[in-house]
């Protein structure tokens, strides 16, 4: 911090410079992935390599009506084909059976993904995704051959999921090197279900491969041109909309700049050693003495010093001051004249006793007991004058 202060001359300039750097960094930082990907990588709104916007545009170009499902509860009514691509959040049992009932009525469901989240939609079909494989880049086709148009292999991108099921009516189209199925199809009522453990063919980068496009055309071979294809984007949209201020701070460049500025300010204050509030006093500092303790202490000091003549002088001065102030007299007036004026103005006042007390207070030495007696008398006289 010392060399920084020598460069920037003051701590305030250092802090302002740091905040400017934070703002410039946030402004010129490349747009975050969340800008094109509101909730998951395989979204039709995502233009990155792992997104699926190219798939949507391509399907529209070849004549299909493409829609997005963005409601909180998935409702496939009005669709001919439903595409589920690597959901980020699990489906409820009610949603899974709603889709199942829609399929058995004669529609087509295509599910691509892996893991327990995607499994939440496959429960009604007695199947699930098995282990994730990451050593095989290409999967070879098996019988029956996909031939509309012919496709004999597909690129996985290095990872894919295999499928586990006890169904006996599965048509296995692709298998792994361990002879585990990774793409199957089967009939459900009057409809058809495709389950694939490979997401890459549906992505923007996957469609650049000729086999990726051929595979998708085979999945849609029985779907006539002009049919309605729906992408489930509901589990994508809900988290982005409900994130509120926290989501905005964590996923936007202005939010990042605010968080970085707060962190920088905190570090600045820590390095300067400034406290954020008044220090909390310890118990010993909070235990203050009572006023009487100071009086007793002063009395004990005077007693130990043995300066009783000085104490007598102090009490005599206090007694005279009380009468001078009471009758507005000259401070240099003599004791005799003071008593005379006091008795003249106050007939009930015992002038002889007052004069005697003043004379006793003028003594050069006195015992401790006598000092205490005289002090008590002075207090009584002063108390009567108030």
In tens, the pLDDT along 61-102 reads 999 999 988 877 788 888 999 999 988 888 889 999 999 999
pLDDT surpassing 50 at residue 237: no
pLDDT, averaged across the chain: 81
CA gap 202, 46 in Å, rounded? 12
Q: What is the pTM of this model?
A: 0.54
Q: Per-residue pLDDT for 349 more than 90? A: no
Domain positions in the chain: 2-31+252-272, 33-245, 291-385
| Model pLDDT for residues 110-165, shown as the tens digit of each residue | 999 888 888 889 989 999 988 666 567 888 888 667 888 888 888 888 778 889 98
DSSP letters spanning 113-148: --HHHHHHHHGGGTEEEEEEE-S-SEEEE-SSPEET
**Gap between the Cα atoms of 231 and 342, Å rounded:** 111
Residue with more model confidence, 307 or 380: 380
Q: What is the pLDDT of residue 289?
A: 73
Q: Which CATH architecture has domain 33-245?
A: 3-Layer(aba) Sandwich (3.40)
Quickly list DSSP for 219-257: HTTTSPTT-EEEEE-HHHHHHHHH-HHHHHHHHSHHHHH
Structure confidence by residue, pLDDT tens digits, 268-277: 777 666 555 6
CB 199 within 8 A of CB 86: yes
**Is the model's pLDDT at 32 over the cut of 50?**
no
Determine contact, residues 111/118, Cβ cutoff 8 Å. Answer: yes
Mean pLDDT of the 372-382 span: 86
292-316 pLDDT, tens digit per residue, is 777 778 777 777 777 788 888 888 8
Cα–Cα distance between 260 and 95 in angstroms, integer? 41
Alpha-carbon 59 to chain mean position: 42
């Amino acid at each position: 911090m010392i060399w920084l202060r020598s460069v920037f001359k003051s701590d305030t300039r250092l802090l302002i410079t740091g905040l400017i750097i934070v703002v410039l960094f946030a402004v010129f930082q490349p747009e975050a992935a969340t800008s094109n990907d509101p909730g998951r990588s395989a979204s039709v709104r995502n233009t990155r390599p792992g997104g699926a916007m190219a798939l949507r545009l391509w399907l529209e170009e070849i004549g299909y009506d493409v829609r997005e499902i963005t409601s909180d509860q998935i409702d496939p009514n009005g669709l001919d084909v439903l595409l589920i691509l690597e959901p980020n959040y699990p489906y409820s049992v009610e949603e899974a059976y709603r889709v199942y009932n829609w399929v058995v009525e004669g529609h087509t469901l295509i599910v691509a993904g892996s893991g327990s989240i995607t499994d939440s939609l496959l429960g009604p079909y007695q199947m699930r995704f098995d282990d994730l494989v990451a050593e095989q880049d290409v999967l070879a086709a098996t019988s029956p051959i996909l031939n509309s148009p012919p496709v004999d292999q597909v690129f996985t991108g290095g990872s894919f999921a295999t499928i586990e099921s006890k169904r006996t009516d599965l048509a296995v189209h692709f298998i792994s090197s361990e002879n585990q199925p990774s793409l199957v199809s089967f009939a459900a009522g009057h409809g058809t279900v495709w389950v694939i453990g490979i997401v890459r063919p549906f992505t923007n980068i996957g469609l650049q491969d000729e086999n990726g496009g051929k595979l998708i055309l085979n999945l849609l071979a029985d779907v006539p041109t002009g049919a309605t294809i729906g992408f489930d984007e509901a589990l994508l949209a809900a988290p982005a909309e409900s994130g509120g201020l926290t989501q905005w701070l964590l996923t936007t460049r202005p939010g990042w700049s605010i968080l970085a500025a707060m962190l920088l300010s905190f570090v600045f204050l820590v390095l300067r050693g400034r406290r954020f509030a008044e220090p909390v006093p310890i118990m010993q500092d909070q235990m203050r003495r009572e006023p009487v303790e100071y009086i007793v202490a002063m009395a004990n000091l005077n007693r130990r010093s043995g300066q009783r003549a000085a104490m007598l002088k102090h009490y005599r001065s206090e007694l005279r001051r009380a009468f001078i102030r009471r009758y507005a007299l000259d401070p240099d007036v003599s004791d005799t004249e003071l008593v005379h004026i006091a008795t003249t103005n106050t007939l009930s006042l015992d002038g002889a006793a007052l004069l005697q007390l003043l004379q006793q207070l003028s003594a050069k030495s006195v015992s401790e007991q006598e000092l205490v007696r005289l002090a008590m008398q002075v207090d009584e006289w002063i108390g009567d004058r108030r």
